[in-house]
Structure 1
Amino acid sequence: TQTDLETVFADRIKDFDKEEVRRWYNGYSWLGEKVYNPFDILLLFNKKIFRPYWFETGTPTFLIKLFKQYNYYLPELENLEVGEELLSNLDIDDLYVENLLFQTGYLTIKDVERRLYREVYTLSYPNYEVKVSLNNFFLLHFVSDRSLKDKTENELEKALRDNQIEKLKDILHRFFASIPYDWYRKNDLESYEGFYASIVYALFSGAGFETVAEDTTNKGKVDLTVIYNNKAYIIEFKVVEDQPEKTALKQVEEKKYYEKYLGKYEEVYLIGIEFSKKDRNIVDFDYKKIQEVN
């Protein structure tokens, strides 16, 4: 617990930023006080560098295969609502992705609410280590070239750091072009909006950006919001048959998803991305800076 960390390990924790330690390794919860991953903490004290120590002890290949098999919408893992019967299910012949993620520690309990006759649990990543690492591993299952994945994430960070939003189109286009054709055989991934959204979400999350998926507003839900350098990038995804329809940016403009971010960040940008079923890639990329009205 936080108290244990600051008392039992007071002589060790003084050498680190406590908030950064909490962000990386705290967050596991079973309806009580949040706890740290002791494996991570001990190795952090020994190595004196922040790394995904626990995640590196195993490779969740089986989980990634289930993501693909069920066309799983990866951003949903940020706020996943499940019933008690799913969390307690241990039937090897009746496995659910959500149950496996919880039992293996990739998700933890964020909240619980009584609805009618049952308890509804909200699950989420426990901490920064798990969120970044799981999304990175997910990407490597689609593109095995680690250098390409790392290059793409570095280019995303540089583009947003330099405020060159127009470069995002080419960066993302190259990454989707690198996904082997075999991934699209005997399935309909090219028609599945969640597939493209999951890849983009994993890229930003795996790169370490602060991401908010399916963020609720009073007008609906934002597909993906990326926060960086006190700027908010609100992204809407659409899948079209072939040619651009110019509907993604239009939707996020008309529904004013951006209003909750005005005044909270220095700059707010809207980004609309359309993917073609035929080309299996981006066919339209529009963006707009929102000027706050005082």
Structure 2
Amino acid sequence: MALKLYPIGIQTFERIRKENLLYIDKTGYVYRMTHTSGKHFFLSRPRRFGKSLLVSTLESYFKADKELFRGLQIENMEREWTEYPVVHFDFSGGKHQDAGQLRRYIGYMLEEEERRFGIECDAVDENVRLENLITSIYEKEGRQVVVLIDEYDAPLLDVAHQDGQLAILRDVMRNFYSPLKKCERMLRFVFITGITKFSQVSIFSELNNITNISMDNEYAGICGITREELLTQMTADVDELARKLSVGREAAVRLLTENYDGYHFAWPSPDVFNPYSLLNCFSRQKVAGYWFATGTPTFLIEMMRKFGTVPSGIGGVQAKESSFDAPTESMSSIMPLLYQSGYLTIKDYDPQLGLYTLDIPNKEIRIGLYDSLLPNYMETAADEGRVAIAHMSTFINRGDINGALELLKSFLEAVPYCDNTLYEGHYQQMLYLIFALLTDYDIQVEQRTAKGRIDIVLETKTHIYIMELKFDKTAEEALAQINTARYADAFVLKGKKIVKVGINFCVKEERNITEWLTQE
């Protein structure tokens, strides 16, 4: 069976269908959303998760381009195929702009839509032009208007950590969006996508009839690729990858799951794979970190610094549902932003307490996120650190934890340091990052047990290493804590060789591992 080409970087539904590229059928969601009592919807999903393709699909649907939907779910659902005029604004090109540039960008998009519908407008203000555009189209076409707004928050994300600049750009956006409520009777459907929720933008503060479907169970799989879709619509692709990697089908699915699965945007929710990484993996026939290869957003790193986020504190957190809806500009922790951006996802829910458990979705995100934080702890030695970590993996793969720690000690002797890093927390987080970046293993930091929290648990195919870190103390004390708290008891049933490792790190003088002890 010949595989279809993958739409890497193509977000236009019409092009994908006409060129017969691979399309994961999401049209059932389109029909459901467009045939409910509401008509104003907002969807938040991480970058490169298929939001723009969904917007493009909606555009083709409302233009009643029926041929494009032949063979898809919606063909058996829709009977009328009524055509509506569609206005489409894409704010993804409005990044890294000041207020003047942003206003000109909005003006350019408005001019394109005015030209397309043959409408003239002498007004300068963006809100007046948008209201005139909707009103004129409604009167000219004799039908309600569909408004699609993609990546509405793109101009705001890069300044999310700059309160002054954020307020200025937010006012520009508020002014532009304000007519949507006033023009309600002339609108058939409004769909807005983004990553975050800026509550002070008038879309959310004034358009009070908008339905946020971001955490609705029935739309949990509207973007991304679910496990069911992978195993049915992409079954031939899985088989080809398995052949290329010289592994069985189950092993190939397991690799894909470990690296790209694990997203849940509601609870309960189907398992959702990162679509960008999955398609790139199939296209290049190689398991790698594709999502992070496109770059970690600057705003995220800046916000992590603003909130003093440390690597060991990123995963394994709990939150109330109200926390997910926290306005980006007034949130008290970085958790909502990490969730909305795709670095954390829902892993469990306690209905009695109303608490969600959030954690890092998969290996690709863990490695990519921690790698992006490495320069904060190693300064100019980050690249050398990545090489050392790769070599450490080789030792650990052979069951030689002593060789790995010797290598780490030798590397740390050459790491430059500054006076402002002369404290235990800095080096503790640096060591967490180093161990978390070891590939091909299951790494847990500060894992909770009935007796306390284990600093580091490193699990390979054959071994489980239980590590306790001490600073300016002794390796004996570290090892004694592992034994006293009986940390090893939690792993006995796994049937692997358990190795306890007590490590002491000197902060005041050597800034390095001074000793370690192992015990089987």
**Considering the TM-score relative to the shorter chain, is it more than 0.5?**
yes
Deviations 1:168-205 (A, max 9, x none): 433333444454433x42xxx53334x33332222222
How far 1:140 moved relative to its partner? 3.2
Q: Which has the higher contact order (CA 8 A, sep 6+)?
A: 1
Aligned residue for 1:217?
A: 449
Alignment partners' CA distance in 2, 1:231 and 1:10: 34
User: Which residue in the other structure is 2:369 paired with?
Assistant: 134
Secondary structure of the structure 1 residue equivalent to 2:328 = coil
What is the match of residue 9 of structure 2? none
Query: What code does the residue aligned with 2:286 have?
Result: I
Please tell me the residue identity of whatever aligns with 1:203.
Answer: I
Question: Structure 1 residues 284 and 252, CA, compared in 2 at 3 Å: closer, same or farther?
Answer: farther
Whole-angstrom distance in 2 between the partners of 1:212 and 1:263: 18
Residue range with higher mean Cα deviation, 273-282 or 98-107: 273-282
State the Cα distance separating 1:249 from its structure 2 match: 1.4
Gaps of 5+ in 2: 1-225, 242-251
| Cross-structure match for 1:259 | 489
Give, in whole Å, the separation in 2 of the partners of 1:86 and 1:171: 42
Amino acid at match of 2:482: V
Aligned residue identity for 1:130: I
Partner of residue 511, structure 2? 281
Alignment-mate amino acid for residue 457 of structure 2: T
Do the aligned residues in 1 keep the contact of 2:446 with 2:456 (CA within 8 Å)?
yes
CA displacement 1:133-177 (0-9 Å, x = unmatched): 111121134334454123211221122233332234333334444
2:356 is aligned, of 94, 99, 121, to 121
State the distance in 1 between where 2:238 and 2:513 align.
Answer: 50
- Provide the C-alpha distance between the structure 2 equivalents of 1:200 and 1:62, rounded to a whole number of angstroms: 25
Q: Larger Rg: 1 or 2? A: 2
Higher relative helix content? 2
Q: Structure 1 pair 287/44, CA: closer, same or farther in 2 (3 Å)?
A: same
Structure with the larger strand share: 1
Number of equivalent positions: 281
Residue 231 of structure 2 is matched in structure 1 by 6
Instruction: Label 1:217 to 1:146 Cα distance change in 2 as closer, same or farther (>3 A).
Output: closer
1:26 lines up with 2:256 in the alignment:
no
Q: Residue 401 of structure 2 aligns to a residue in which SS?
A: coil
> Which of 443, 467, 471 matches 1:239?
471
Letter of the 1:158 partner, please give it.
Answer: T
Report if the CA contact (8 A) 1:169-1:285 is conserved.
no
Aligned partners of 2:306, 2:505: CA distance in 1, in Å? 21
Report the Cα offset of residue 245 of structure 1: 7.2
Task: Compute the displacement of 1:42 (Å).
Answer: 1.8
Is 1:173–2:403 an aligned residue pair?
Answer: no
Corresponding residue number in structure 2 for 1:191: 423
Structure 1-normalised TM-score? 0.84
| Residues 172, 217 of structure 1: alpha-carbon distance in 2 compared, 3 angstrom cutoff | same
1:156 to 392, 399, 403: 392
Give the AA of the match of 2:372: F
Report SS of the residue matched to 1:237: strand
- State the secondary structure of the residue aligned to 1:181: coil
The worse-fitting range, judged by mean Cα deviation, of 37-46 and 197-206 is 197-206
Provide TM-score, normalisation by structure 2: 0.50
Q: Could you say if the C-alpha distance between residues 248 and 66 of structure 1 is closer, same or farther in structure 2, counting changes exceeding 3 Å?
A: farther
- Deviation digits for residues 104-123 of structure 1 (CA, Å, limit 9, x no counterpart): 1111111111455xx22111
Tell me the SS of whatever aligns to 1:122.
Answer: strand
Structure 2 residue 268 is the aligned partner of structure 1 residue 36? no
Q: Aligned to 1:50, what secondary structure does the other structure show? A: coil
Moved more, 99-108 or 208-217: 208-217
Q: How far apart in 2 are the matches of 1:261 and 1:175? A: 31
Q: Extract unaligned runs of 5+ from structure 1.
A: none
| CA distance, structure 1, for counterparts of residue 256 and residue 390 of structure 2 | 24
Give the superposition deviation at 1:11.
2.1
2:436–2:444 contact (8 Å) kept in structure 1: no
TM-fit CA distance, 1:38: 1.3
Q: CA deviation at 1:131?
A: 0.9
1:227 deviation in Å?
0.7
Identity of aligned residues (%): 24
CA RMSD of aligned residues (A): 2.5
Q: Is the 8 A contact 2:447 2:457 kept in 1?
A: yes
Moved more, 17-26 or 156-165: 156-165
- Paired residue secondary structure (1:225): strand
